[in-house]
Amino acid sequence: MEQTPLTPPASPAAPTSQPPSAARLAHARKRVVALKGFYIHLTVFALVLLALLLVNSATGGPWWVVWIFLGWGLGVLAHGLVVAGLGSRSIAAWEARKLQDYLAEDGDGRARDGNGP
């Protein structure tokens, strides 16, 4: 094909419009759900701490809200690190092992949801 000023050059590495595989789609959905969970956690953290800060400033006395900020803040930080992919590989390996255990328990490949026998 001859290249003209109106046609872009053909690129062998150009992305195709093929749909993603089921495994890639499931992984992407899992990441989106994890990110959404982190955003919810962060929003609740900020709103509750703002309310507690207002209560603490209105009542006077020592700044007890700092201890809540530090404790819960570490939890939010850990949650963010896990969502960003900086979590422990041992946790991911444990999740994979437990998933395989639950699938093997049922025998027919379906994991139990914990609501029944």
Q: For the chain, which residues make up each domain, given as ranges? A: 23-106
Can you give the pLDDT of all 117 residues of the chain as single tens digits?
555 556 555 555 555 667 779 889 998 999 999 999 999 999 999 999 999 999 999 998 899 999 999 999 999 999 999 898 877 777 778 888 999 999 998 876 555 555 555
What pLDDT is attached to residue 113? 57
CB 56 within 8 A of CB 64: yes
Nearest CA to 72 out of 37, 88, 51, 48 is that of: 48
What pLDDT is attached to residue 72? 97
What pLDDT is attached to residue 86? 78
What pLDDT is attached to residue 15? 58
What pLDDT is attached to residue 58? 96
What pLDDT is attached to residue 73? 97
